Every structure is written in structure tokens, then in C-alpha cells.
Structure 1
Amino acid sequence: MAFGRLRKKKQDDAADAPLTQEPAADAVDDAPVPADTPAAAPDEAGAPLEPAAPAGHVASADYDRAAQGPFDASEQDTDHGYIDLGALRINAAEGLQLRLEVEERSKRVIAVTLDLAGSTLQLQAFAAPKTEGLWDEIREQIGTSVGSQGGTVEERPGRLGTELLAKLPAQTPDGQAGVRVARFVGINGPRWFLRGVFGGPAALNPSAAAPIEKLFRSVVVVRGDHPLPPRELLQLRLPKDAAAGPPAAPAAARPDLNPLERGPEITETR
């Protein structure tokens, strides 16, 4: 496991409504795909056919979180083999790279992005009500946010419950019209909500998604006992060994095809 860059986020780019925050630049595929993806064939009445959900794909109401994860701190032993980020504990899988996003004005860590096997997963955890989940409502808000940027969302059953496949307009390297793809998932836990955004091959390829989905299932959320209003971002922090490391160095410049504004970056290596 290695620590990647610690990404500072401008205040106005941080989520004023963090549950509907668009995925960070590194949480979506760096190579947009062509925009002319085929649609489902119409039925005799002219309406597009809805493909049957693949085996193992379920709606959120049928997803057994307590058995399959992500887990609550009361359900999983994290004394060994986990990276402690405060509200989130991440399994230190081989080949994992981890980046933290920091809100520039407040200096608080607001998200963590995991890189594994060529795909990315951005995570944020929030306080939630005791008696109801947030994912149904949040899916609608994400759809509105993506639509305001000229994108589209498709709601569908997934291996982690109901998910959204979001497509944002982008330009391919050869200058053609394309889309940038991100896959949103949401898990309702006991008094918490965990949002994940899959990018890279994991957004579209089930086989490529398997290793980082396994990592997502192993995440442990530490809600704490203190009262918090629903939707309050649960506090993340730097791992102790990272905080004591050497000074950060500037990140190497690279083309940024993400249409969202991104803040300055620094690099920290381990």
C-alpha cells in the first residue's frame, strides 16, 4: 500500500451539499469514451427494452449490507491490516494507493480516493437518521446535479445495490465528442451513509471492478456515539504515520480532461 498525493480543494469546489458533490477529477476515467453508445432495441410498441438485471445484481432494499459490507465499527475487527482514517478504516490491500482531499479553507479532509488495479474509488461518509436511509433521496439529487452539467444518469440494480451510472460530456483525445463515466453507489448503515464513486475501468467493466468492489465491501465506518445532524460529513484524518512524514513536493503536471475545476495539489509518497 502506498500513499499518493494529498489533494487540496478550493472552498467553492468543496461540496456545499457534500452528498451531491460531483466526483473528484481522479475519481472518474481519465480517457472519455465515445458518446455514441448503442441504446437498447425497442419492443413492438416502440419503447426501449429494459435489459434484465444480471445475476447477483439487486436493488438496495435487497442488498444484505451486514453480511456483505461495508461494515459498521461494531461489526468488524480492524486492529490489524486496516488504515485508520478516523471515520473510515480501509483494508491495506496489496497495490493500493490512497489519496486524501483537503478543503483549502478549513483544512479538513473531506474525501478519500483509492487507486487499485487501474480503477479508482472515492469515498465519503455521512451521519444519517436512525430510522431511515438517505440513498433513495440522494440518487435523485445526484441526477439533478449531473443533469445541470449536461450529463445523464441511469439507475439500475448492481452488485452493491441500486446504483447510478453517470455520463458527463467530455472530449476524447482525438477531439471527438465523448462522455466521462462514473458509477455512484450508496450504502445505508446504522446511523451513517457511505457514498462511493467508481472511476476508470471499474465504472463500466464488471471484471475490472471486482478487486475494488471487494475493497469497498471491506470498508469499516466509524460513526461514533456523539449526536450529529443527518448529512453531516463524518470526520476524516490523516493516518498517523503519514502526518509524521517528510514535507510534500509539488505534483507533476498532467493533462486534466475533467470539466470540473480542481484545486492545487501536493504529492506525498510513502
Structure 2
Amino acid sequence: MFGRRRKKSGKPEGATDEFETEESGNGTADPGAGSAEDQHFKLPPAPRPDGPWDIGEVAEPGKGRVNLGGLYVPGVEGMELRVEVAGDAIVAATIVLRDSAIQLQAFAAPKREGIWDEIREEVASGITKQGGVIDEQEGALGWELRAQVPVQLPDGKHGVQVVRFVGVDGPRWFLRGVISGQGAVQPEQAGLLESVFRDTVVVRGDSPMAPRDPIVLKLPEDAQMVPEGVRQETVEEGSRFAGGIDKLQRGPEITEVR
């Protein structure tokens, strides 16, 4: 589903994270093998001493946060909270603050193996194939990708959109953020969005899930739906990680004022 490279084995497709965990511990590949480009993108996942948090690490996850089921998202005064729907499931939430936004999406991951290093490689490969430019840097949220992605403008001309891909591996989950707007063009202005990412709580649950399956979200009980209006530039994904950047129809919106 995501193009993740896996070793050939006799395990059936759709294996749960328990299968993945056992497989990841039996590899025989030379850790020093691979091209310089592979080693450049396959860097250790960022630690999370300041978050984002697992549900088991927070005493009161609902305090000051919006309950979206699979995520507890910090409430910030004046923010818009938009949800993204795939089929019948809500799989992502976008927080808009003034002229910047961050899209949050959580996924299942193996028990003892982070996936952010592989995802960075996949994202970088997908964008460079489109003719975009990738710069990998260590930012406030750990290792991230800063991308200049070709897009078609409303007048038909070709332009470039700047976005930042950030991610953190947690216990059996991975949280990805895509920062757009001024928070991507001028990262020093993204402090509030970065704080939202850090203070997000992920609810993985105990049900078996295949690695990289999205953790499904839900609307909060007091959600106020806003009619669809002007479209906003955000991330369009051919896969959930490595797709292009273009204009998406905005999903249902929730306005939270705290």
C-alpha cells in the first residue's frame, strides 16, 4: 500500500505488526551496505523527550486538547481544525493558524522499529521524481524534509510550493506532520505549530494493525461543521507519504476558539 520495501518471506499479505516485529529482528543485511544516498536518508529517528505523547504517558489527555479519537490535538485560540476523509474514515487533521497550517496523521508501526527514516527516503524520492528539490535538515522537531514541489497554479502556469515534512516514531505508532504556508517558507515563524505537534497525544489502541495503516480519527462531539468554501493549498498524496503537492478540496471544518 505504501511501497515499503520488505524482505521476501512466507508470511501472508496484511501481516500485523507482530509479524513485522519478528521479521525485523532476523535480518541478515550488512548494516554498512547501501549507497551513500540511502545512508543519507536512513538516519536514526528523533527522540521525543518533549512529545508527541503516547496515551499511556499523559494523565489527562483531554485537558486543553480536542479529542479526535486516535489523536488528542492541542487547542489554540483562533485555530481552524479541518479533517481529511478517505472513503468513510477520517484519517488526518489539519490545524490552520493565520497564514500557516500543519496536517497531522498517525499510523501504526512495528513494536521495536521506527519508520521515519524510511518514510523520509520515500518522500524525498517521490518529490525529486516530480522535479522538486529536497533538503534534509535537523530542525526543532528532529530530522525533517524541506521540499520545493512543482505545482500548477490556478492560471495554468507552473510554480513551486514549499512544505516541511516532520515526523516522530512512538511506541507502535508514527506521527507525521506536513507544515505549509509561512511556517514552511519561514520555519522560524512556525513555533506555535511545532508546539501543537509536540503536545499531540496519539491513541494507538490494542487492536492488531499492519504497520503504516492509518489510525482512524473521529469528529468531536461538539463539532461545528462549516460549509465548503474557498479551496486551500495543502498536501495531495498518491500514497499517504510520498505523493505530490497540489490543491485538495477542503474537508469538513471545525472552528475551535479557546
Under a length normalisation based on structure 2, what TM-score does the superposition of the two structures give?
Answer: 0.71
1:155 matched to 2:136? The reply is yes
Q: CA deviation at 1:267?
A: 5.5
Q: CA deviation at 1:170?
A: 3.6
User: Residue deviations 1:6-27, cap 9 Å, x none?
Assistant: xxxxxxxxxx5399xxxxxxxx
Q: 1:197/1:149 Cα in 2 relative to 1: closer, same or farther (>3 Å)? A: same
Unaligned runs of 5+ in 1: 1-15, 20-58
Q: CA deviation at 1:171?
A: 6.0
Residue type of the alignment partner of 2:198? R
Distance 1:225 1:95 in 2: 34
User: Residue deviations 1:33-91, cap 9 Å, x none?
Assistant: xxxxxxxxxxxxxxxxxxxxxxxxxx9748430x2110111112213211110111011
Residue type of the alignment partner of 1:97? E
1:241 matched to 2:216? The reply is no
Distance 2:96 2:231 in 1: 17
Distance 2:46 2:251 in 1: 37
Q: 1:265/1:160 Cα in 2 relative to 1: closer, same or farther (>3 Å)? A: closer
Distance 1:227 1:152 in 2: 37
**Superposed CA RMSD:** 3.0
- The structure 2 residue matched to 1:89, chosen from 38, 47, 72, is 72
Count of residues paired in the alignment: 209
1:71 matched to 2:57? The reply is no
- Secondary structure in 2 aligned to 1:139? helix
- Is the 1:61–1:161 Cα contact (8 Å) retained in structure 2? no
Q: CA deviation at 1:177?
A: 5.6
- The structure 2 residue matched to 1:127, chosen from 108, 121, 141, is 108
Residue type of the alignment partner of 1:17? F
Distance 1:82 1:256 in 2: 26
Distance 1:18 1:88 in 2: 25
Unaligned runs of 5+ in 2: 5-41, 236-244
1:17 matched to 2:2? The reply is yes
**Matching of residues 117-196 of structure 1 within 5 Å:** 117-170=98-151, 178-196=159-177
- Secondary structure in 1 aligned to 2:176? strand
User: Residue deviations 1:81-115, cap 9 Å, x none?
Assistant: 11110111011111221000112xx3111211011
Range that drifts further, 142-151 or 185-194: 142-151
- Secondary structure in 1 aligned to 2:197? helix
Distance 1:255 1:117 in 2: 13
- Secondary structure in 2 aligned to 1:215? helix
Distance 1:215 1:114 in 2: 9
- Secondary structure in 2 aligned to 1:140? helix
User: Residue deviations 1:219-255, cap 9 Å, x none?
Assistant: 000111122111111111111112xx56x53x23458
Q: CA deviation at 1:122?
A: 0.5
Q: Which residue of 1 aligns with 2:229?
A: 252
- Is the 2:84–2:251 Cα contact (8 Å) retained in structure 1? no
Distance 1:206 1:269 in 2: 25
Percent identity (aligned): 43
Residue type of the alignment partner of 1:228? M
Q: CA deviation at 1:147?
A: 2.0
Distance 1:222 1:255 in 2: 28
